[in-house]
Amino acid sequence: MPKISGRVLWGTVVALIAVQSLLTVLVIHRESLVFDEGNHMFASYMMLHTGDYGLNPEHPPLVKFLAALPTIGRNLWVPENKNRSFKTEAYVDGGEFIARNDGDRNQLVFQMRLAAGILVPLLALVVFLMARECFGDWAGLAALVLVVFDPNILGNAALVTTDIGISLFFVAATWCFYRYVKQPTWTRLFVAAIVAGLLLATKHSGILFAPMMLLLIGYEVAVAPKGTRARAALRLGGAFCVIAIIGVLVLWSFYGFRYAARPAPLKMSTTLADWVAPVGAFNAAVVNAVGRMHMLPESYLIGMVDVRRMADHYPTFIFGRNWPHGVWWYFPSVFAIKTTLGLLALTIVVVFAAAMRKLKLGRELVFVLVPALVYFLTAIVFGMNIGSRHLLPFYAYLFILAGAGAVALAASSRRWLIACLVLVAAHVISSMAIYPNFMAYANEAFGGPTKLPMLLSDANLEWGQQLFEVKKWQDRHPNEECWFAYFVHPIIKPETYGIRCHHLPNAGTSWGGEPEIIPPEINGTILLSASNMVACETSDASLNPYRAFESMKPDEVIDYGVMIFRGHFDMRQAAAQARTQMSSWAIRKHDAAYALQLAQEAVAMDPDRLTNQTALGDALAANGRRDEAHKAWQIALTQARQLEPATQTLYVPRLESKLKK
């Protein structure tokens, strides 16, 4: 391959990163608030202005501090602390915080996204720098093109979430450790330690860097010349300890070196001991011991446990089927669907180049391949199956590998050069073809984005970003009465964006806000977000009130994620679900008589659903009619035992507990 002059090289780098930045700005300017952002933004404001780390402990503070920079010197409206569960407080109050301070103006949200968005060009730059140092200038440019135009990166770029940040710091920490191993100096060791601390302060999955380093150290010791292995093991083991100690100190600095999650007199809605109890005796003992010794901040520990608890119980939707738990083949399937065919082919090129010894197995390849595999395998085992965004660190390493493999083969012959150029171009063209809806990307082999709703859900497709476009649709149809089930409602309210539709129930309306009573039949226009249509947060498809819509062809589709149906529809199951949720809210408000009325209406509409019978039992019990309540619960228990075994575990124990009272 011909040598590139420094001016041409860096001019190309700047131009590519500028293109990525422009695409990022254009995309986030048209997108409404996504599900997790209100939570992050509210928590970021409270962290910066009050030192409260207890509102969103599920993620460490680094990205939130960045996002909060535009709020310095601003006195924004803050919702009253109602001492609810920290997750409810953060999500519900986060949505209200943005609605009151920004509404549909998209000014505060845009500013906070841009502040967090500095991590996007940094990710592209670090991918380029590591690829260049390990495999040369051309490999660096190839990797840079891949990261700049990747649809998964662009779909999550500059959102106030942690996925871009953790991808950046995984690669940066790996690169800095590589540079230390290659040429050990105290300066390089200190830089590696600081970057590792930034990784820990970005997301809890940053702790995976420890086993990554240990494996890399093992490799270095194994390939060291005989007679020097003990010395290499001692030096690298010492470096590991220095990185761990300084890294943890950097993490503590982001919490102000304070153990307590919330400033006095505020306290967490749960204790660490109570929160960790469900994850097993051994795990609880370790976490509680770390907490008692104040080795890590309380907020960090509670967040780590929270992520584990969510992974244990979060349902999965893939290939048209609902699962009550994670499935090991989820992320391999997501990778196959959400990766461009060009990049998939380049992944095969890497394997071929290594097999043909064009890409030599050595320190450089190992330092990219080992972290990539550790992360990917951990994602498979962990089971938090909610989106390709959780694969972004793996993609960051893959861009480097793909660039290295492509250049290695391209250097061997003109045919390989043309083939690799075609694959890189295919990656770019396929991604740009879906502009500006990058989050909804699916490659051509799986039918593209139009087929994605029956393959994947959640942040693979639509995460709440279409509300501006829904408002534009409604402005074009001002006289249509509409009914809307949207994935992020009620955490993010469509009314904030000027949308005037009746609300259909979803999983969130059972805890995040009161649902609306709807009629059992609707003659008019129904809008369903794709994730609600397949009930991705439901453990069993039989419990999906919108299942009938899956086989219908929508009249219109907004940004691949909001389906519009017109006609006459039997909505008894959705109407019953709304009433059971309202019944639960009525019990909380001590209105037992109204709760019973709603539950009875739900059972009359849909007697064969266990959630309706359960609600009836709860309402009867609230009215002091225990014998009748037991009959309803027993019916619900019989219905629960007809579900798949894994789904039964979510309902049977609770119903058996009710019957024992």
Q: According to the model, what pLDDT value does residue 113 have?
A: 97
**What is the rounded CA–CA span in Å between residue 139 and residue 405?**
8
Strand 562-570 relative to strand 556-558, pairing:
antiparallel
Q: Is residue 635 part of a domain?
A: yes
**What is the rounded CA–CA span in Å between residue 311 and residue 395?**
21
The single-letter code of the amino acid at 354 is A
The single-letter code of the amino acid at 531 is S
Mean pLDDT of the region 550-563: 96
Q: According to the model, what pLDDT value does residue 650 have?
A: 85
Q: Is residue 398 part of a domain?
A: yes
Query: 464 and 423, same structural domain?
Result: no
Q: According to the model, what pLDDT value does residue 492 have?
A: 93
Q: According to the model, what pLDDT value does residue 509 have?
A: 85
Query: 521 and 465, same structural domain?
Result: yes
SS (H, E, C) 27-80: HHHHCCCCCCHHHHHHHHHHHHHHCCCCCCCCCCCHHHHHHHHHHCCCCCCCCC
**Short-list 432, 476, 440, 443, CA closest to 457:** 440
Q: Is residue 42 part of a domain?
A: yes
> Where are the alpha helices (H) located in 293-413, listed in sequence order?
298-313, 330-338, 341-355, 363-382, 392-410
Mean pLDDT of the region 268-289: 93
Q: Which residue has the tokens 């992360």?
A: 375
Q: Is residue 263 part of a domain?
A: no
Query: 559 and 464, same structural domain?
Result: yes
Query: 110 and 39, same structural domain?
Result: yes
Query: 565 and 502, same structural domain?
Result: yes
- Angle of helix 414-432 versus helix 392-410 axis, rounded to 10: 150
Query: 464 and 422, same structural domain?
Result: no
Q: Is residue 452 part of a domain?
A: no
Residue 325 pLDDT class (50, 70, 90 cuts): confident
pLDDT at 660 over 90: no
Query: 493 and 429, same structural domain?
Result: no
Q: Which residue has the tokens 């009161």?
A: 514
- Angle of helix 363-382 versus helix 209-223 axis, rounded to 10: 140
Task: Count the domains in the chain.
Answer: 4
**What is the rounded CA–CA span in Å between residue 592 and residue 490?**
24
pLDDT at 383 over 80: no
pLDDT at 644 over 90: no
pLDDT at 649 over 90: no
pLDDT digits (tens, 9 = 90+) for 401-431: 999 999 999 999 999 999 999 999 999 999 9
Last residue of one domain, picked from the residues 408, 438, 468: 438
pLDDT digits (tens, 9 = 90+) for 476-535: 999 999 999 998 999 999 999 999 999 999 988 887 777 889 999 999 999 999 999 999
Last residue of one domain, picked from the residues 379, 404, 438: 438
**What is the rounded CA–CA span in Å between residue 463 and residue 146?**
24
Mean pLDDT of the region 148-160: 96
Percent of the chain residues past pLDDT 70, beyond the cut = 100
Q: According to the model, what pLDDT value does residue 537 have?
A: 85
Q: What is the CATH number of the domain that holds 631?
A: 1.25.40.10
Q: Is residue 211 part of a domain?
A: no
User: Average pLDDT, whole number, for the chain?
Assistant: 94
Query: 430 and 362, same structural domain?
Result: yes
Please state the separation of Cα 349 from the chain's center in Å. Answer: 29
> Where are the alpha helices (H) located in 507-609, listed in sequence order?
530-533, 572-588, 592-605
> Where are the alpha helices (H) located in 201-262, listed in sequence order?
209-223, 229-254
Query: 490 and 416, same structural domain?
Result: no
pLDDT at 645 over 90: no
pLDDT at 293 over 90: yes
Query: What range does the domain containing 566 cover?
Result: 459-570
Q: According to the model, what pLDDT value does residue 88 have?
A: 86
Q: According to the model, what pLDDT value does residue 2 have?
A: 83
pLDDT at 119 over 80: yes
Last residue of one domain, picked from the residues 47, 81, 116: 116
**What is the rounded CA–CA span in Å between residue 600 and residue 603?**
5
pLDDT digits (tens, 9 = 90+) for 55-97: 889 899 999 999 999 999 999 999 988 888 888 888 989 999 9
Q: Is residue 223 part of a domain?
A: no
| Contact by Cβ (8 Å): 605, 575 | yes
Query: 566 and 468, same structural domain?
Result: yes
Question: At a CB cut-off of 8 Å and minimum separation 6, what does 647 contact?
Answer: 324, 539, 540
Q: According to the model, what pLDDT value does residue 385 have?
A: 85
Mean pLDDT of the region 436-444: 97
Query: 624 and 565, same structural domain?
Result: no
* Tokens encoding 650: 């979510």
| Contact by Cβ (8 Å): 21, 149 | no
Q: Is residue 337 part of a domain?
A: yes
Q: According to the model, what pLDDT value does residue 415 have?
A: 95
**What is the rounded CA–CA span in Å between residue 612 and residue 225?**
70
Query: 474 and 564, same structural domain?
Result: yes
